[in-house]
Structure 1
Amino acid sequence: MTRYVALGSSMAAGPGIRPTVAGSPFAAGRSARNYPHLVANARNLDLVDVTFSGATTAHVLADRQLGSPPQIEALNGLESLVTITIGGNDVGYVPLLSAASLFGPLAPILPVTGALLNGATRERALDHVEGALRAVGAAVRERAPHARVLFVDYLTLMPPAGTRAGRLPDHVADLARHVAAELERHTAAAAAATGCEIVRAGQASRDHHPWSARPWTVGAGLLLPWRPWPWHPNAAGMAAVADLILAQLGEPEANSRD
C-alpha cells in the first residue's frame, strides 16, 4: 500500500465534520471525512494524517503543538504523496473573521482582535508567509524525495467583491478577500519555487462561498461540536477538494493498489 502523509491546519483537518478520527487529539479537530481521508480511501493509500487545527508553518517545521511533535516528523522518506494546507494562521485569515463575527463593533478596539483587523499588520504577516511556505516545501521535498508534493490552498470564505458577507462589515470582508488572494498567490509561488504542485481549491470554490446556493464552507455561527466550525469547510467542501486532488493525481497506475 502506498504511503500518504497529510500536513496542515484546520482547513485540512475538518473540525466539526463528524465523525472524528478515533484516537486523534481532541484539539486537532481531525475528521474522518476530511480531504486526506477521502483521497486515501479513493486510492487505497496508507494515510498518516497529522493535520491539526490552529497549526502554523512553524508547527509543520519545528514547533510542538499541544504535545504533538512537528508535523514534518511524520515523513520517513517512503511517501509517494504529501499534501499541505498551511499558512492561513500565519496571516490571521480565519482568526480575523472569527474576531469580527464574535466581537462585532468592539473587535477593532480590543487589543488582540484590533491587531487582527489592522490592515498594516496583516500586510506585514503576508510579507513573510511566502518565505515560510517555501521553507515548508523545501523541507518536505528533502524528507520525502520520491513523493508528489501538493500544496492545497484554502477554500473560498468570502462572496465576490461588492456582495455583502452576511453581517460582516464591508471593510472586514474586503480585508479578508485581500488576505485570501495574497495567500493564494504566495502559496502558488512557494509551490513553484520548491518543485511542488498546487491544487487551486480557492479558485475552484469561488461560487461556493457560505452564502451561495451550494456552499463548500461555513460562515459565522456558534462553535458547536456537532457541526463544522465557523469559517471552515463543510463536508461538501472536503469532498470537492478531494475530487480536485484526485483529478490532479490522474488515473492510478496499474500496480498502485498492490
Structure 2
Amino acid sequence: MSYRHVVALGSSFAAGPGIPPVVDAAAGRSGNNYAHLLAEALGARLTDLTVSGATTATILDQPQRAYRTTFPPQLSGVPDDADLVTVTAGGNDLQYLGTMLRLAWANTLRGRWWTRPLGNVLGRRPVPVLDPDLAVDGLRRVVEAVRTRAPGARVVLVDYLTVLEEKTPLGSDAPFSDAERKALRALGRRVDGAFAVAAQATGADLVKASVLSAGHGVGSPEPWVNGFVAGRRGATSSFHPNAAGMRAIADELLRFVGP
C-alpha cells in the first residue's frame, strides 16, 4: 500500500528537540524527526503536529502552552484524508522524562556546595509510581479519536527509545545513583508496557522503539539518545533522541508500513 498523507502526533520523543533543522522552536520540532524522514521516504505529504511536553490530554482536547505559544489540541489538526498516523505519547502522563531530568539536575547541583541546597530540594521526591492505566487510557482514546477524524487512517503507536540500560555507565551523562537508575528503568518499562496494552486494546499497530534501541542507550558506543547536558544548551535535548535515533525509528517504520 502507498501512503499519501502522514500525520504525526506526540511529545518530544516524536518532535525531536535539539535536532537540526528546527522547524518550530516553540514546539521543539525538528525537520529531521522520524515523521519527516518517513514521509520523505514514502513520498507523502506530512502534517506534523508534535509538541515537546505534550500529554495525551493535550493531544486530545486540552490546549498546550509552550514558550509563549499556545498550541491547540493536536487532534484538531488531523485532516480527514490522513492515511497514516503515528503516535508517540504517554511518557509525560507518567512523568517519565520530567523525573529523569529532575534527578539529573538534583545530583549535578549537589556536587557544588553553593548549589547543594537546591539540589537537595529537587532530589527530595522519589521516582513516582503512577498507574500505567493513565497512559493506557490516554493512548486508547487518542487512537479511537484519530479513527473518528480520519476513518481511512492506519494508526501506528511508536513507543520510546531506551534511555537507560542495565549497564548504562553512571557519570556526567547519566548522573544517577544505582537505585535511581533502577527505578527510572522500571518507570520506562511501565511507559512501554502502556503502549503494548493500548495497541492490543485498540488493534493499532505498534513499533517497539524500546526493543529496537537495545544497546543504544546513554553511554553506549552508538547512542540513539543524548546524555544529560547541564546548562541552557541541554535544556531541550538531554535524554532525548538524537539524529541517529530518529533515523533508526524512521527506517523501522518504513520497513513496517512500506510496500
TM-score by length of 2: 0.87
Q: Which residue of 1 aligns with 2:113?
A: none
Q: Which residue of 1 aligns with 2:64?
A: 65
Q: Which residue of 1 aligns with 2:89?
A: 86
How many residues are treated as equivalent by the alignment? Answer: 242
Q: What aligned pairs does 1:139-150 form with structure 2 within 5 A after superposition?
A: 139-150=145-156
SS at match of 1:83: strand
Partner Cα distance (1:235, 1:228) in 2: 14
SS at match of 2:239: coil
**1:1-31 residue CA offsets vs partner (Å, 9 max, x unmatched):** 811110000001000101111xx3x221100
**1:250 Cα deviation (Å)?**
2.7
SS at match of 1:124: coil
Q: Which residue of 2 aligns with 1:8?
A: 10
Q: Which residue of 2 aligns with 1:221?
A: 229
Q: Which residue of 2 aligns with 1:101?
A: 104
**1:74-124 residue CA offsets vs partner (Å, 9 max, x unmatched):** 1122111000000111111111110111111568853x7644x34xxx322
**1:227 Cα deviation (Å)?**
9.8
**1:68 Cα deviation (Å)?**
1.1
Q: Which residue of 1 aligns with 2:178?
A: 170
> Which region of structure 1 is more displaced relative to structure 2, 131-140 or 148-157?
131-140
Identity of aligned residues (%): 40
Q: Which residue of 1 aligns with 2:39?
A: 40
SS at match of 1:149: strand
**1:116-170 residue CA offsets vs partner (Å, 9 max, x unmatched):** x34xxx322434221121111111122221111000000000022x554333111
SS at match of 1:79: coil
**1:237 Cα deviation (Å)?**
0.3
* 8 A Cα contact 2:168 2:220, kept in partner: no
Q: Which residue of 2 aligns with 1:190?
A: 198
SS at match of 1:123: coil
Structure 1's unaligned 5+ residue stretches are 252-258
* 8 A Cα contact 2:28 2:52, kept in partner: yes
Q: Quick one: which of 134, 139, 145 aligns to 1:133?
A: 139
Q: Which amino acid aligns with 1:207?
A: G
Partner Cα distance (1:43, 1:228) in 2: 29
**1:148-198 residue CA offsets vs partner (Å, 9 max, x unmatched):** 1000000000022x5543331111111111111111111111012112100
Partner Cα distance (1:228, 1:124) in 2: 24
* 8 A Cα contact 2:168 2:219, kept in partner: no
Q: Which amino acid aligns with 1:36?
A: A
Query: 1:139–1:114: structure 2 CA closer, same or farther, 3 Å change rule?
Result: farther
* 8 A Cα contact 2:32 2:243, kept in partner: yes
Partner Cα distance (2:219, 2:154) in 1: 34
Structure 2's unaligned 5+ residue stretches are 111-116
Q: Which amino acid aligns with 1:129?
A: A
Superposed structure 1 runs of 4+ greater than 4 Å apart: 105-109, 223-228
TM-score by length of 1: 0.87
Query: 1:53–1:141: structure 2 CA closer, same or farther, 3 Å change rule?
Result: same
Query: 1:223–1:194: structure 2 CA closer, same or farther, 3 Å change rule?
Result: farther
Q: Which amino acid aligns with 2:136?
A: E
* 8 A Cα contact 2:80 2:149, kept in partner: yes
Partner Cα distance (1:132, 1:226) in 2: 29
